[in-house]
Amino acid sequence: MIIVIIILATVAVFASWMLVEKPVLRCLAGSLSLFVFVGSIAMLTNHFVNHTGMSVKTSEKTKEIYSAAGADSPFGLLIKKEVGSDSNNYVLAYRDKPSDKDATAHFIPKTDEPTEAVKQRVTYKEADVDKATVTTITKRYTWKSDFAKLLYAFGGEDGELISREVTATVPKDTWLVVTKNQADKLPDIAKKLQDENAKANPKAAAALQKLAKENPQAVVAKQVEDLKTALKEEK
């Protein structure tokens, strides 16, 4: 409606100053129509800049994710690929269901929707949790009222994306977050560590095998800790 008001005000300004003969009436009608025209332009500009008449709707969704390495791996695996350089924004690979044959890459920026891609940020963290999850917090514009929608709606702004923040949270003791290149090296690194530990301290290796039957989670935590150390030393 604001566009219609601007058009009508433009016509009224022209008609008032050019067609009205009486000076007093011309001045009054011209000033009033000019005021409406300028005010309408100011309202529209304010809407474009500050999204006047709209509010921010926030939605949050959390879902459990599963290891990219599959059920046969004793530890969980999240594969990351940074988008750009030093962006702290990632494409993440994991399984959506335990039954999935392969891991799937998620949050790949859409080249055909660059505006939405810029508004999306994906990161990860390790925490003291039992399950790996992905939490998505989405913010979108929505109309405050039917009047605001009637006044300003003409560009499909309802539901316009403001930001999408995605955070993958994995158990710090039993999961690894690695690049694809590191993931490919993990089997060899794990075997090398196992051989080195068995050779350096046979008794400790035997005790670890016994602990694996009594407390497998403790053994997984130790393996993850050793792998993290080995991966850091490789850099």
Domain boundary among 176, 196, 214: 176
pLDDT at 78: 97
In this structure, are 101 and 11 located in the same domain? Answer: no
Same domain, 168 and 63: yes
Query: Which structural domain, as residue segments, surrounds residue 37?
Result: 2-50
Task: Report the chain's mean pLDDT, rounded to a whole number.
Answer: 87
- The verdict on 185 and 171 lying in the same domain is no
Domain stops at, among 28, 50, 72? 50
In the three-class reduction of DSSP (H, G, I as helix; E, B as strand; rest coil), residue 144 is classed as coil
To the nearest 10°, report the CA torsion of 60, 64, 68, 71.
180
119 pLDDT more than 60: yes
Residues 142 and 188 in one domain: no
Same domain for 76 and 156, yes or no, is yes
Q: Are residues 60 and 43 in the same domain?
A: no
d(CA 168, CA 92): 8
Both 95 and 19 in a single domain?
Answer: no
Q: What is the pLDDT of residues 19-71, one digit of tens each?
A: 878 888 889 988 999 999 999 999 999 998 889 999 999 999 999 999 999 87
How many structural domains is the chain composed of?
3
Same domain, 103 and 69: yes
Residue at a domain's end among 176, 191, 213 = 176
Q: Give 80's strand partners.
A: 92
Q: Which stretch of 27-36, 74-83, 129-138, 190-199 has the lowest confidence by average pLDDT?
A: 190-199
Q: What is the pTM of this model?
A: 0.80
- Reduce the DSSP state of residue 222 to 3 states and report it: helix
Q: pLDDT tens for residues 137-192?
A: 999 999 999 999 988 887 678 888 999 999 999 999 999 999 999 999 888 888 88
Regarding whether 64 and 172 lie in a shared domain, the answer is yes
pLDDT of residue 18: 84
pLDDT recorded at residue 19:
82
Question: Do both 164 and 88 map to the same domain?
Answer: yes
pLDDT at 205 over 80: no
pLDDT score recorded for residue 128 = 94
Domain shared by 141 and 46, yes or no:
no
How far is it, in rounded angstroms, from Cα 125 to Cα 90?
12
112 plus 22 within the same structural domain: no
